[in-house]
Amino acid sequence: MNGPASPTSYHWSVHQLTEYLVQVSEPREQFAAIDAALEHAIETFDAELGVVMLDNELRASLGFGRQEVPQCFLGPLRDNEPVEVPDIGRVFVARGDLDKAATRGTGCDGYMLLGRLGREFSAEESQLLQGMALTLGLVLHNLSILQAERTRHRLVETLLDIQKAISARRPLNEVLDAITEGAWELLGRGPVALLLVDPASPELLRPHSLDRYPGFDDEAVALARGALAGEGANWEPSALRSRPLLAAQVVVSGEAAGCLIARPQGHAPGYRDQAELLNAFAQQVSLALNDARSVDAVRKASRDHITGLPNRAHFLQKLEQERLTSVEGNTDLTVLFIDLDRFKAVNDTLGHQVGDELLAEVSRRITTCIRPTDTAARLGGDEFAVALAHTDLESGRGVAHRIVRALANPFAVSGREVLIGASVGIAASAERHSDASALLGDADIAMYRAKRSGRGRCVVFEPYMQEEVADRLDLFTDLQRLATNGQLWLAYQPILSLASLGVEGVEALMRWSHPVRGLVPPSVFIPVAEETDLILELGAQAIERALADMASWHRHATGLRLNLNVSARQVVDQSLPEIVGAALAANHVPPELLTIEITESLLIEDPELARARLTRLKDIGVRLSIDDFGTGYSSLSYLRQYPVDQVKVDRSFIAELRDNATNDIALARSIIELCQRLRIETVAEGIETDEQLRLLKELGCDLGQGYLFAYPMPAHDWLTWQGAVSSRRGLSPPNLVSASS
């Protein structure tokens, strides 16, 4: 800048031009090229001030010291226009455009402006400056092409990495972080943030990653909202100092799901390129979210929403994989089929929400009993299954027992304690299994067997069980027809006063005359009917038939009482009181003559429900009896809690009664005495010998029933039997026995 040369002494040699070109084109970054060009120009023209403007931004300045470049120096100035620069003085300016407006050869929108104190620029100088500026423009143009190429290359690499992360199903957060990171890197490491719409409340924008946007501010939020509302990206060309903010929408299934915002740093890619870059990253976010959603949808479709466990379809797929692996590697594979014992009653009484809570807790307990590599699933309703890879039958049995124990502990749901329990069927993968369903089917059959042999059991599948199941299926099919074809009838067995041997009443017992199987005992067909609502239909028919029979007998013997058996399922069903009430009314039978027999099991399994249902039955005026008393686990004190009128002491106790069987006598005595204290009538079931009769009489038992007096008999035989007995005013052993069941 300090040279005595006059304006006219500039005669650029080829050498000088080459030197300028080398200096300006050497740098790999635009800003360095600009700095070099400006320095060179100021030196060449011995100017005091100089700036380079590019894309409406000040890119370089020299000679202003610490002060900012004044606006007066930035305006559109003509050559040799004098400008008064504060603190410096009056300068003449010369301007060289980086591109000729007419040709747009370099595509650079900018200029170099020099200011010289006291001396105008000659035409020659102006021309030279123009040449230097054009050279810079050319260099910048080349650099920007190179830069764009580099950016494109890095973009491709970054996007590839992101694509890999998405298809490898990396966790969504990780993928989104990688995208933000990539955008940050490619946009000159300026702040970048991702904002996502909260699906629960769409008016909320949740920042996903702010690591790369430390100064995240209101302006950014406002911009994001604008972008989401479809106003597009925000660009303020006049903002020279504050960097412009860019925004790109994230769209998932046609809906705005969020936006990526950035404040790009550096000048390499132009604004349009930056916006495009950001858009590319926003699209990656869309892809990642979309993919995550479809993965989630698939996951949901294969999961049970209450427990989060795989559902039946998914379990069968998994089991099939395990089965093939075990066949291939000749390794063990065992399946458990778990059925909850009292779930339905809980669901019916406490409601579905409590039921769902219970199922979720059941699944947690099952999961704690198995290894992380085992697969637990909810098959539906109250059925669960577990696949145990590399596990033989014996170890499988161990797991099954562990599960049964875990589920036998009380459950705390909605502020109360609920007792359920489970039965488990166990089957090991074998050659006979053609697929996973066959294997699971065997475990199911074993579970069924477990359930029938008493609850809370674990049973291993045996081939004979298959036939048993097939037979029961046949039976069930026949039973369904039974309701309409008149094969069902009732047998009656008298109940006598043990003191007087006078007939007090009669118990109705269901009979089924099967055309092929012959007389099927209720102990066979009732459990089958009880597995479905078929028992409700059969039970209702028995109630109606028995009361109709009773009405016809009352013409002969008034005051005769009727005992009717109902299954727990009928009691749980809401309509039982109406059915009984209607049958009583239709046949003009006083309700107090009817005694409904229920078994203990209901009282133990669900005391709450039992109390509620029994109270409703009591409300219509009928009497209640506990059948087969003593076979369940109920303690005697249980009786106090229910509105019970009668207890039928189970046949197994009576069978043991002999003069020298002191323990059995003591047992029978304690039951009878307790009932007496509670004013509950006692009935002894299955009296077969005179000895039993005598002992029971001595113990003070009220009533009795058994082959000693009569077998159950068809209604017309009963009428004859009863007529004969009443004409003799009671039975006197050796008695009259009608064998007809």
| Paired residues of 384 in beta bridges | 338, 378
Question: What's the rounded Cα separation, in Å, for the pair 706 and 652?
Answer: 12
Q: Does 628 participate in binding ligand C2E (rule CB under 6 A)?
A: yes
- Provide the H-helix boundaries in 188-301: 218-228, 271-301
**147 binds, options ligand C2E, Mg ion, none, Cβ within 5 to 8 A by partner type:** none
Name the amino acid, one letter, at 421. G
Q: Does 630 participate in binding ligand C2E (rule CB under 6 A)?
A: no
Q: Does 686 participate in binding ligand C2E (rule CB under 6 A)?
A: yes
Question: What's the rounded Cα separation, in Å, for the pair 99 and 103?
Answer: 8
Q: Does 494 participate in binding ligand C2E (rule CB under 6 A)?
A: no
Contact 492, 503 (CB under 8 A): no
Name the amino acid, one letter, at 464. Y
Toward Mg ion, which CB reaches closer, 654 or 699?
654
Q: Does 51 participate in binding ligand C2E (rule CB under 6 A)?
A: no
Q: Does 573 participate in binding Mg ion (rule CB under 5 A)?
A: no
Q: Does 688 participate in binding ligand C2E (rule CB under 6 A)?
A: yes
Q: Does 627 participate in binding Mg ion (rule CB under 5 A)?
A: yes
Q: Does 733 participate in binding ligand C2E (rule CB under 6 A)?
A: no
Question: What's the rounded Cα separation, in Å, for the pair 231 and 163?
Answer: 29
Contact 93, 83 (CB under 8 A): yes
Rounded to a whole number of angstroms, the minimum distance from the CB of residue 342 to ligand C2E is 19
**81 binds, options ligand C2E, Mg ion, none, Cβ within 5 to 8 A by partner type:** none
Toward ligand C2E, which CB reaches closer, 433 or 472?
472
User: Which of 567, 634, 682, 722 contacts ligand C2E by CB under 6 A?
Assistant: 567
Q: Does 482 participate in binding ligand C2E (rule CB under 6 A)?
A: no
Q: Does 356 participate in binding ligand C2E (rule CB under 6 A)?
A: no
Contact 482, 488 (CB under 8 A): yes
User: Which of 252, 376, 542, 696 contacts ligand C2E by CB under 6 A?
Assistant: 542
Q: Hunting for tokens 């014992």 — which residue is that? A: 341
| Paired residues of 89 in beta bridges | 85
Q: Hunting for tokens 């199922």 — which residue is that? A: 359
Q: Does 526 participate in binding ligand C2E (rule CB under 6 A)?
A: yes
Q: Does 628 participate in binding Mg ion (rule CB under 5 A)?
A: yes
**566 binds, options Mg ion, ligand C2E, none, Cβ within 5 to 8 A by partner type:** ligand C2E
Q: Does 617 participate in binding ligand C2E (rule CB under 6 A)?
A: no
Report residue 490: phi and psi, to 5°: -115, 135
User: Which of 216, 271, 476, 707 contacts ligand C2E by CB under 6 A?
Assistant: 707
Q: Give how far the C-alpha of residue 521 lies from the chain's centroid of Cα atoms, to the nearest Å.
A: 45
Neighbours of 642 (CB within 10 A): 19
Q: Does 286 participate in binding ligand C2E (rule CB under 6 A)?
A: no
Q: Does 704 participate in binding ligand C2E (rule CB under 6 A)?
A: no
Rounded to a whole number of angstroms, the minimum distance from the CB of residue 367 to ligand C2E is 38
Residues numbered 650 to 679 that lie near ligand C2E (CB under 6 A) are 651
Q: Does 731 participate in binding ligand C2E (rule CB under 6 A)?
A: no
Q: Say what angle helices 30-45 and 123-167 make with each other, to 10 degrees.
A: 170
| Paired residues of 624 in beta bridges | 596
Structure tokens at 416: 């109360």
**493 binds, options ligand C2E, Mg ion, none, Cβ within 5 to 8 A by partner type:** ligand C2E
- Provide the H-helix boundaries in 587-626: 600-605, 607-619
Q: Hunting for tokens 């050659």 — which residue is that? A: 431
Neighbours of 464 (CB within 10 A): 9
Residues that bind ligand C2E (CB under 6 A): 493, 509-510, 521-523, 526, 539, 542, 565-567, 597, 627-628, 651, 685-688, 705-707, 712
Residues that bind Mg ion (CB under 5 A): 565, 597, 627-628, 685
